[in-house]
Structure 1
Amino acid sequence: MSTPPSAPREPANPAFVALGGGHGLAASLSALRLMTDRITAVVTVADDGGSSGRLREELGVLPPGDLRMALAALCDDSEWGRTWRDLLQHRFATDGPLDHHSVGNLLIVALWQLLGDTVGGLDLVGRLLGARGRVLPMAAVPLEIEADVRCDDGTLAVVRGQTHVAVTPYRIEQLRLHPADPPACPEAVSAVRDADWVVLGPGSWYSSVLPHLLVPELRAALHETPARIVVTLNLTPDDETQGMRAVDHLAVLRAHAPELPVHAVVADPGSVDDVGELADLCASTGTRLLVRQVRRGDQSAVHDPLRLAAALRDVVEGYLGDVGTPAGR
């Protein structure tokens, strides 16, 4: 973690890349679409449960579910866009083989088979939705997540599969991918290198956010990009992060990617148990901390798109005020 470069490149319409998966990534995208139309979602492809897991196992394709959710979050805010979004998200309820499959998952996989092109198929669905941005997989092959966990008796055990890692009751100590050195999606690598800002989180820390740092080409791009990196912390712990504090999330991020520069952290005050400790940690690494209410007004554990967009806009504008000051990555 270090201080940012001294001058922004696209102050009026910055290019954002958001990394993650599932509902957390959708929350980021719902906020970013209020700020810019230069958005790229880079989505984890390790899901092995539900409709995505079944299609992955039966057809050998990337799990489409998180990709579908990202596309839905970027849909055009019109009757056309919202109708296609709702169709994409529709799930069948039946006693037959279609049970719990979503229309969007089937559509995406069908386009992959017709076109023979993963990125081309996603781009075509994006055009159908009038998507405000682009959605890409983080890797070119399906991945399996594996974690070393510390059991209650102090012994180490191995948990395999995203669905199992996401619900483990034990403390996760180390994360791995299989295959260990998967090929990254080239378009995703290019997007990170060309970005002005990269957003990590919110989302399942171990099963959705950190896996991006374990894809070698994507990790290298994150280290080498001139973009500034902002981390959005979760509102509440989930199964895989029970007992972890806000500072622990940043510590785990640093343990898996020690050289990754983090330029800003956005946290909701209700999710931080010790703001002073978090502020001290950020100050020690040259990271700006913005503590702002970004959850819904009803205090549910859901990010409010307008509030999160306002917080991210304040982060961007704060760096615009640094033009001419000496800084570096």
Structure 2
Amino acid sequence: MSVYPIGSPAVVALGGGHGLSASLSALRLMTDRLTAIVTVADDGGSSGRLREELGVLPPGDLRMALSALCDDSEWGRTWRDLLQHRFTSAGDLNQHAVGNLLIVALWELLDDSVKGLDWVGKLLGARGRVLPMASVPLSLEAEVAIGGEVVTVVGQSQVASTAGRVENIRLSPANPPACPEAVDAIMAADWIVLGPGSWFSSVMPHLLVPDLAKALHETKGRRCLTLNLSSETDETLGMTTIEHLRALYRHAPDLRIDAVVADPSAVEDPDLLVKEVDHIGAVLLMRQVGRGDGTPIHDPLRLAAAYRDVFDDFLGDVGTISR
């Protein structure tokens, strides 16, 4: 049952991979007016192979977003499992995901990436829409500090597995065309949710697409930042929650954030985080949003409850949730 059966908010979620799947799995419990805007810089695995062979957008993160929006019914679970199924063979199909092939086939038939994704969504009965953040495939580049020197790492898969400290990221091409429907969705949204997810390779690239960044700055919708449950990934290894926030503001210093959701177990210094969030003019909701077994994976019901409290707070007395 939807938390907002009447007057559901229009929500846009930005990201890629497992992080975006986590926010979508929560948000689809709250509203049917949901749009996922997905990074298109993936260059590894099945997506990377299809991108290189056919010159298409990498479909993997788009597939994962569609899977997360499948209804929790026999129909939805079956199609979700089919999209995620990977072949195991000694030939060219090895490790290709069925969903990737389905998406790319529709792109070839329709010659339109957005229409192709919409058709997959209809097939799945998806509770929301999935859009690419840009109209062309992108390459992610990062300046990484390794052993006292700064080197350039090229490719999302390489950035995500880097052994150094990411100092700066950029896209190639530097000024890619945004997906027009993605820009429209942001401008029409009541809420925009950024994160959780791989900070440099999934969350922050959206801020580097000029028209998308412009929409994020100009929209009347409010912006909610969801912090990760763990920094134990290669690209953010050893980074504190404060450093996550500051990295985002290095790349988008004028971006207004209205609310920040954080799990207390992932916050090194709660008092310092409160001060940092207050400094950027946002309110902070500290809430257990991870699974009960302690694994750093968001629980959809807990995260949905946190988002509900954030959204409701801004309908009433703004600022109370940080206390």
TM-score (norm 1): 0.94
Residue of structure 1 equivalent to 2:96: 101
- Deviation readout 1:264-297 (Å, 9 max, x if unpaired): 0000011000000000111122210011000001
2-structure distance, mates of 1:185, 1:74: 20
Match of 1:230 among 207, 224, 233: 224
Residue of structure 1 equivalent to 2:154: 160
SS of 1:164's partner is helix
Residue of structure 1 equivalent to 2:191: 197
Deviation of 1:12 after TM superposition, in Å, equals 3.2
2-structure distance, mates of 1:226, 1:248: 27
1-structure distance, mates of 2:234, 2:172: 22
Q: Which amino acid aligns with 2:154?
A: R
Match of 1:303 among 294, 298, 310: 298
Residue of structure 1 equivalent to 2:312: 317
Q: Which amino acid aligns with 1:181?
A: N
2-structure distance, mates of 1:313, 1:208: 24
Deviation of 1:87 after TM superposition, in Å, equals 0.7
- Residue 48 of structure 2 is aligned to residue 53 of structure 1: yes
- Residue 82 of structure 2 is aligned to residue 87 of structure 1: yes
Q: Which amino acid aligns with 1:216?
A: P
Q: Where do residues 12-91 of structure 1 align in structure 2 (5 Å cutoff)? A: 12-91=7-86
Q: Where do residues 107-186 of structure 1 align in structure 2 (5 Å cutoff)? A: 107-152=102-147, 154-186=148-180
Deviation of 1:25 after TM superposition, in Å, equals 0.1
Q: Which amino acid aligns with 1:167?
A: S
Residue of structure 2 equivalent to 1:7: none
Residue of structure 1 equivalent to 2:265: 270
1-structure distance, mates of 2:115, 2:137: 17
1-structure distance, mates of 2:262, 2:74: 34
Deviation of 1:128 after TM superposition, in Å, equals 0.4
- Residue 231 of structure 2 is aligned to residue 239 of structure 1: no
SS of 1:101's partner is coil
- Deviation readout 1:82-136 (Å, 9 max, x if unpaired): 1111111110011111000010000000000001010000000000000000000
- Deviation readout 1:192-220 (Å, 9 max, x if unpaired): 00000000000000000000000000000
Greater CA drift, 276-285 or 24-33: 276-285
Deviation of 1:258 after TM superposition, in Å, equals 0.5
1-structure distance, mates of 2:299, 2:75: 24
* Aligned 8 A contact 1:35 1:309 in 2: yes
Deviation of 1:77 after TM superposition, in Å, equals 2.2
Task: Select the structure with the greater relative contact order (CA < 8 A; seq sep ≥ 6).
Answer: 1
* Aligned 8 A contact 1:67 1:136 in 2: yes
Residue of structure 2 equivalent to 1:6: none
2-structure distance, mates of 1:177, 1:23: 21
SS of 1:104's partner is helix
Q: Percent identity?
A: 68
* Aligned 8 A contact 1:139 1:215 in 2: yes
SS of 1:236's partner is coil
* Aligned 8 A contact 1:268 1:291 in 2: yes
Match of 2:279 among 254, 261, 284: 284
2-structure distance, mates of 1:101, 1:261: 39
Q: Which amino acid aligns with 1:127?
A: K
* Aligned 8 A contact 1:11 1:320 in 2: no
Q: Which amino acid aligns with 1:252?
A: A
Q: Which amino acid aligns with 2:279?
A: S
Q: Which amino acid aligns with 2:48?
A: G
1-structure distance, mates of 2:98, 2:166: 34
2-structure distance, mates of 1:293, 1:80: 31
The size of the alignment, in residue pairs, is 314
2-structure distance, mates of 1:11, 1:131: 19
Residue of structure 2 equivalent to 1:209: 203
SS of 1:157's partner is strand
2-structure distance, mates of 1:100, 1:42: 25
Deviation of 1:11 after TM superposition, in Å, equals 8.8
Q: 5+ residue gaps in structure 2?
A: none
